[in-house]
């Protein structure tokens, strides 16, 4: 079994982005500027946004955090998004999800200018990705593609099973794995909560990408000997031995699956760290106007 180490890979990618940014700025380019909107005070969202802002500082980006109370109305939030759309200094921005229940995430995502949509959630970016046109690829699928590429995993002709069909992970992942590119060229099966015989299907996977959000759901009997197992799940489980009172678990029962898998990603220390790299890469592309010249 080989561990696909998100800590090592994300540190390499960040240092590459840092170098490219310094080179770009030294050549007279604009310092990339990422803005983030955070609504409410959800603990996990606070952690994710803080880590995104910290990463910007590390690699030489400018960053801005705009915080709003959970009581903000949908129209007020749209006004704030439009202000960022019109702000020439901001190259890209994200609205941290989830949003409070009274706000439509779809309306919010569609209000973001696709040119600044560095999370890659706007229908224009999703559509362009499906057509194989230059697009901001959403951060988690981008991170997984980089893990496969940088680990030298052969994907062409392989059977890839994706468990989960969410807009932010499962669905874009399935599209990227079947495209005519490297990584890509897989035969893809996408499974979801209504899939019958999930275990039997998972067992036929050469590459198993698991994003269903249930701690340690995938046990060794879901995995073919030698398969590549990518664990996207992040679930907090109570753990009184930790200072925080919780531990992070993936969707894969790591200890037993690791004995069978050819490659596996750990949680924490896997896909989660790569996700930030996707966001930073997209922001640098936005500053250089690479996707939308």
Q: Which of 91, 117, 119, 251 is catalytic?
A: 119
Cβ-based nearer residue to ligand NAD, 90 or 139 = 139
**DSSP label at 115?**
G
- What is the nearest approach in angstroms of ligand NAD to the Cβ of residue 161? 11
Catalytic residue among 14, 91, 96, 224: 96
Q: How far is the CB of 205 from ligand NAD (least distance, A)?
A: 13
Active site residue 119: yes
Q: Is 96 a catalytic residue?
A: yes
| Residue number closest to ligand NAD, CB atom | 166
| Annotated catalytic residue 167 | no
CA torsion angle 247 211 272 123 (round to 10): -140
User: Which residues touch 68 (CB under 8 Å, ≥6 apart)?
Assistant: 37, 38, 39, 40, 76, 77, 80
The smaller minimum CB distance to ligand NAD, of residues 6 and 184, is found at 6
Separation between Cα atoms, residue 142 and residue 147, nearest integer Å: 9
Least Å distance, CB 188 to ligand NAD, is 15
In the chain, alpha helices (H): 6-26, 43-59, 74-86, 105-111, 123-131, 139-150, 170-178, 198-202, 254-258, 271-287
Contacts of 111 (CB under 8 A, 6+ apart): 78, 81, 82, 85
- The catalytically annotated residue of 52, 116, 158, 285 is 52
Closest separation in Å from C-beta 174 to ligand NAD: 11
Residues 235, 255: Cα–Cα separation, whole Å: 17
**With respect to ligand NAD, which residue has the nearer C-beta, 135 or 198?**
198
Write out the residues near ligand NAD by the rule CB under 6 A.
140, 163-166, 168-170, 191-193, 195, 198, 211-213, 232-235, 271-272, 275
Q: How far apart are CA 88 and CA 282, in angstroms?
A: 17
DSSP 8-state secondary structure symbol assigned to residue 148: H
- Six-digit token string for 6: 């998100």
Instruction: Pick between residue 178 and residue 195 the one whose CB is nearest to ligand NAD.
Output: 195
| Nearest-approach distance from CB 106 to ligand NAD, in angstroms | 14
**Closest CB to ligand NAD among residues 90, 271:** 271
Q: What amino acid positions are annotated as catalytic residues?
A: 52, 96, 119
């Amino acid at each position: 079994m080989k561990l696909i180490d998100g800590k090592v890979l994300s540190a390499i990618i960040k240092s590459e982005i840092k170098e490219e940014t310094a080179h770009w700025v030294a050549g007279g380019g604009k310092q990339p500027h990422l803005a983030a909107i955070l609504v409410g005070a959800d603990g996990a969202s606070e952690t994710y946004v803080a880590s995104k802002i910290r990463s910007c500082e590390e690699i030489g980006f400018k960053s801005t955090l705009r915080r709003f109370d959970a009581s903000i109305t949908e129209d007020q939030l749209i006004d704030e998004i439009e202000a960022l759309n019109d702000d020439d200094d901001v190259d890209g921005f994200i609205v941290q999800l989830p949003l409070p229940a009274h706000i439509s995430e779809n309306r919010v995502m569609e209000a973001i200018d696709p040119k600044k949509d560095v999370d890659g959630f706007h229908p224009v970016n999703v559509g362009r990705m499906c057509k194989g046109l230059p697009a901001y690829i959403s951060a988690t699928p981008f991170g997984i593609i980089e893990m496969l590429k940088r680990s030298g995993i052969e994907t062409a002709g392989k059977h890839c099973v994706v468990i989960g069909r969410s807009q932010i992970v499962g669905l874009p992942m399935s599209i990227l794995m079947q495209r005519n590119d490297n990584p890509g060229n897989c035969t893809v099966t996408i499974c979801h909560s209504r899939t019958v015989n999930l275990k039997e299907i998972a067992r036929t996977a050469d590459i198993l990408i698991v994003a269903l959000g249930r701690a340690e759901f995938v046990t060794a009997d879901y995995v073919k000997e030698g398969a590549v197992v990518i664990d996207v799940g992040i679930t907090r489980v109570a753990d009184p031995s930790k200072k925080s009172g919780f531990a992070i678990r993936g969707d894969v029962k790591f200890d037993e699956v690791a004995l069978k898998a050819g490659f596996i990603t750990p949680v924490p220390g896997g896909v989660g760290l790569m996700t930030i790299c996707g966001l930073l890469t997209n922001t640098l592309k936005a500053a250089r106007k690479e996707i939308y010249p």
